[in-house]
Structure 1
Amino acid sequence: MEDQGIVHLYLERSQQALVETKNKYGAYCKAIARNILSNYSDIEECENDTYLAAWNAIPPNMPRKFSVFLGRITRHIALDKYGYNTAKKRNREFEVILTELEGCIASPETVETEYEAGEIASLINQFLYALDEQARNLFIRRYWYSDSIKNLTMRFNMSSSKVKSILFRTRNKLRDHLHKEGVNL
């Protein structure tokens, strides 16, 4: 079923919307959650919570791109679950990903308003659009989808050192871009 048809089912409050969403995007949502969480039951819970959140959000929200809408919901739920799970312990794999980006973007404590956060997001998008396709895809897969270095090497058919090198240079370019635009890190 096409995305518009699924969204229409949500608007009609049809339970079939959930079935169609799971059929089309279940694996996608699980993959996003799996890259952040390591426990299978947490991943399944995150997937189901995504469907509930989509049910509650449509209407009033009308997603422009349904897959991105679901991906964003899944990611936020998985990050919340990760925070809950790691209140006393650490997930080393995901902790490394967060640490890599620390020097590039300002922490939430330094961003005082929603407007500033939106401006920084706009600058990051501008930066990403200016990158070559390979660097952009690596950056997004690593820092949005939380793919491991091993998965990136297989996906892009590169050595681990090349992937790390491209990500390192891209982070440095992002830091320089944000600094040039007046974002204090």
Structure 2
Amino acid sequence: MKITSENFIHQLIKKNPSALDYVIDNYSNLMFKVITSVLGTDHREDCMECLNDVILKVWNNISSYKSEESKFTSWLIAVSKYNAIDYKRKLIKTKDQCDIDDITLINEKSTEDIILDNENRNELLNIINTLEYPDREIFIRRYLIGDSINTICSSLNLTRSSVDNRIFRGKKKLKEQLTSGYGGFVNE
């Protein structure tokens, strides 16, 4: 039997697959436009999945269509719109949830690297603590807190050249202590 605009609804009710093909061929663009107006054009895959859901709903619920109450296109637009709204709600709900396997850690250091970093930091702090005042204070402010040299000069009432010299001598002393602790070499 040939499916036409006059008999496709009756054939859909009878579950004729050719009638569903007719709906897809003639109305899929309309359904897709309604769905993209709700979901947005940047969600093409979701729109296609929603379109498939709408086609399935048309197939399963064609008996709820009443031709005396509305045109088929109006009913189809309503089915498409409300299905897209439900789909959007589902997307929003799943957007807040994520699969633990999809999460990429920002800090991908291994536990061993973290432990070594902490040990190295603690050892460096111990060596800095062996420095005399104000050298210790200069190193803590400059390299741990991140103060500028001018800020250090004004807070400790020292000249710029004095702070520069203390940093130079302190680095030399720290390097000597680190070198002796690491078997004679240290990365520069």
> Which TM class, normalised by the smaller chain length?
0.3 to 0.5
TM score, norm. by length of structure 1: 0.37
TM score, norm. by length of structure 2: 0.36
Q: Return the index of the structure with the highest Cα Rg.
A: 2
